[in-house]
Amino acid sequence: MKKIHILILLLLLISCKSFSQCCSAGNPLGGDGSNEGLNKNELKLFTSFKYSLSKNYYHLDAPYDIPNVEKSYYDYQNISFTYGIFSRLSVYTELGYFFSKTQEVKLTNDQIIIQSKGLGDLGVSLRYMLLKTVKPVSQLVISGGAKIPIGAFNEEIDGAMVPISLQPSSGALKFNAGIYYSRKRADLKFGWNSFLFFESSNTIDQGFLIYKYGNLLQLSIAATYEIQRKLNFIFNSKFEWRAHDLREKEMMIESTGGKVFFLNPQLVYAFKPGWSLIAMADIPVYKYVNGYQLTHSFSIQLGIRKSLKFCNSGI
Amino acid sequence: MNIKLIILSSMIVFSIVFLSCKKDENKQLTQPTDNLAIDSLVATKTNIKIYEQTFITAYTRGKNLKFQWNANHGTIETTDSSTVMYWACPSCVGLNTIECKVTNDYGTVSDTIMINVY
C-alpha cells in the first residue's frame, strides 16, 4: 500500500518536458474530469483554478530551437454546474475566466509581454444516461452541446489588438458530442471509465479575420483506485488529435494541429459528505505537431466539488 | 423551492454574463478630410520571415487622433501611437492584413497594409 502511495505522489510531481497545443486559441476543456450523468434533482457544482505552461517549440515529434518565444501561460478559473433534470437527463454548463493569458517574447534584446484577461466561452451540454446499473455501478452516457463565444475577443494593449491565440474567448461557436462509460464493482477498489469526445468549430468571420479551428477528437481511458474510503486516485490517459486550422479561402495553416498523448493523474478527497477536493495534472508524454508549434509543458488544476441531492431518487 | 431558486439564479448569472459581454460594434467609417485622414501606411519591410520584425507607420492628418491597430494574423506591439512593430509566429505564415483605424471628433477612418510572412 505504501508503494502505491509513493507511486501516486511521484506521478503527480512529474513535470517532464512535454506538450500539447498551448498557443492555440480558445478555452481549456473544463469540468472536474468526470463526464457522468446525474439522477433527477441532483446537482453538482465544481470550481477550480488551472495553471498551464507552454515552453518548447516542436517540429513534428522533436524539440526545435526557436529562441524568440520564452514561454506562454495562463491562469484560469472555471465554474461548472451539472443538474439532473430528469432521471436520465442532465444539463451541464461551464464558464471560465482567464486572470491572465500571457506570452513572453524576446525579439532582439527586448522582452515583450503580451497579456490579456477576461471571460472565456460558455459551455452548455446535455447528458443522457443510456444505461445505468447498480451491480456493478456503471453508466453509459451520451452527450451533446456547444461552446458559445460570449467572452472577450477584442482585448487590446495600447490600441493594438492582441493576437487571436491570446484572446480569452475562442471567438467561435463550437459543437461537441461525447460518449462516456464507467464501471466499478462495489466490492472492488478498482474501477475504470472511458470518454470519447469530438468537437467541431464554426468559422470566425469578423472583418479581415476568417478562421476555422481544426476538429478535435479526444479519447480518455482511466483506471480508478480507492486508496482509502475518502481518497480516490484516478489514473487517466488521454489521446488528443486536432486537425489543421483553416484561414481565408479555406487555406490550411500548416503549423496547427497534431497529436498528443497525455497522462492526467487525479486525486479526489472527500473531506465532508458531499464535498470533494480535486487535484489533477496534464502531463503530455508524446507530442507530434504539424509544422512548428509552441507546445504544452504541463498544467495543474485544483478544485472543489459540492454534490447536492434535493430529494430521494433511486438510481 | 431550492431547485427553482438555483435554476433562476443560474439563469440570472448567465443573462448578466451575456449582456455584459456584448462586443463593441464596428465604428462607422467616415470619408477622409483635412480634419481626419490616413494618407498612407508604410512598412519598413513587407516580406518578413517568421519572428522577423517590421515597423508600420501611419501618416495621418488631423488632431487628437486615437489609433487602433488590428491584424488578422500575427502580433502588433505599439511603439508610439502612429507606429507599430509587427511580427508573426509559424502559424501566421501567409499574406496577412494589418488594419489601422484612426478616430477623432470628426469620425473614424481606416486603411490596411498587407505583410507577407514566410
Partner-chain residue, chosen from B24, B75, B78, that has the shortest CB–CB distance to A158: B78
How close, in Å, is residue B63 to chain A by CA atoms?
17
Summarised one tens digit per residue, pLDDT across range A26-85 is 456 555 667 888 999 999 999 999 999 999 999 999 999 887 877 999 999 999 999 999
* Strand-pair category, B54-62 with B75-80: unpaired
Summarised one tens digit per residue, pLDDT across range A203-245 is 999 989 999 999 999 999 999 999 999 999 999 999 999 999 9
Q: What is the mean pLDDT of residues B81-100?
A: 94
Partner-chain residue, chosen from B6, B17, B76, that has the shortest CB–CB distance to A160: B76
Instruction: Give residue B64's domain range.
Output: 32-117
Partner-chain residue, chosen from A68, A83, A255, that has the shortest CB–CB distance to B93: A255
* Strand-pair category, B107-117 with B47-48: parallel
- Determine the distance from the C-alpha atom of residue A73 to the mean position of all C-alpha atoms in its chain, rounded to a whole number: 15
Gap between the Cα atoms of A29 and A36, Å rounded = 15
What is the band of A287 on the pLDDT scale with cuts at 50, 70, 90? very high
Gap between the Cα atoms of A282 and A262, Å rounded = 6
For the beta carbon of residue B40, count every other beta carbon within 10 angstroms: 10
Summarised one tens digit per residue, pLDDT across range A151-184 is 989 999 999 999 999 999 999 999 999 999 999 9
Query: What do you get for the CA distance between the two ends of chain A, in Å?
Result: 32
Q: Is residue B112 part of a domain?
A: yes
Tell me chain A's radius of gyration from C-alpha atoms: 20
For residue A74, the one-letter residue type is Y
What are the Cα distances from residue A68, in Å, to A198, B41, B89?
Answer: 33, 27, 9
Q: Is residue B52 part of a domain?
A: yes
Tell me chain B's radius of gyration from C-alpha atoms: 20
pLDDT at residue A313 tops 80: no
How close, in Å, is residue A171 to chain B by CA atoms?
11
Please, are residues A78 and A304 in contact by the beta-carbon 8 Å criterion?
no
CB contact under 8 Å between A159 and B7, yes or no, is no
For residue A70, the one-letter residue type is E
Summarised one tens digit per residue, pLDDT across range A93-143 is 999 999 999 999 888 778 889 999 999 999 999 999 999 999 899 999 999
How close, in Å, is residue B104 to chain A by CA atoms?
14
Please, are residues A176 and A127 in contact by the beta-carbon 8 Å criterion?
no
Q: Is residue B65 part of a domain?
A: yes
For residue B13, the one-letter residue type is V
Inform me whether the C-beta atom of residue B68 falls under 8 Å from chain A C-beta atoms. Answer: yes
Q: Which residues of A touch B14 (CB under 8 A)?
A: 93, 95, 122
Q: What is the mean pLDDT of residues B10-16?
A: 53
Gap between the Cα atoms of B35 and B30, Å rounded = 11
Q: Which residues of B touch A160 (CB under 8 A)?
A: 68-70, 76-78, 84
Q: Omega of the bond prior to A136 within 30 degrees of 0, cis?
A: yes
- Of A97-106, B14-23, B64-73, B106-115, the poorest mean pLDDT is in B14-23
Copy the grid coordinates of residue A212: 476555422
Q: Count of domains in chain B?
A: 1
Give the pLDDT confidence score for residue A11 in this predicted structure: 35
DSSP B4-29: HHHHHHHHHHHHHHHHHTPPPPPPPP
CB contact under 8 Å between B17 and A161, yes or no, is no
Give the pLDDT confidence score for residue A22 in this predicted structure: 36
CB contact under 8 Å between A160 and B21, yes or no, is no
Q: What is the mean pLDDT of residues A273-299?
A: 95
Q: Is residue B14 part of a domain?
A: no
Alpha helices in A71-184 (DSSP H): none
Say which residues have a Cβ less than 8 Å from residue A273's Cβ, sequence separation at least 6: none
DSSP character at residue A39: -
Copy the grid coordinates of residue A285: 508524454
Partner-chain residue, chosen from A157, A207, A247, that has the shortest CB–CB distance to B94: A247
What is the band of A25 on the pLDDT scale with cuts at 50, 70, 90? very low
Give the pLDDT confidence score for residue A312 in this predicted structure: 58
Q: Is residue B15 part of a domain?
A: no
Which is higher by pLDDT, A242 or A15?
A242
Preferred mutation among A253, A290, A294, A308 to probe B, highest tally of B CBs within 10 A: A253
- Of A3-12, A20-29, B49-58, the poorest mean pLDDT is in A3-12
Q: Which residues of B touch A23 (CB under 8 A)?
A: 89, 91
Q: In what order do the strands lie in the sheet with A156-157?
A: A156-157, A160-161, B66-71, B94-104, B107-117, B47-48
CB contact under 8 Å between A255 and B72, yes or no, is no
Q: Is residue B74 part of a domain?
A: yes
CB contact under 8 Å between A112 and B77, yes or no, is yes
Q: Is residue B84 part of a domain?
A: yes
> Which CATH number covers residue B82?
2.60.40.10
ipTM: 0.81
Q: Is residue B93 part of a domain?
A: yes
Gap between the Cα atoms of B115 and B118, Å rounded = 10
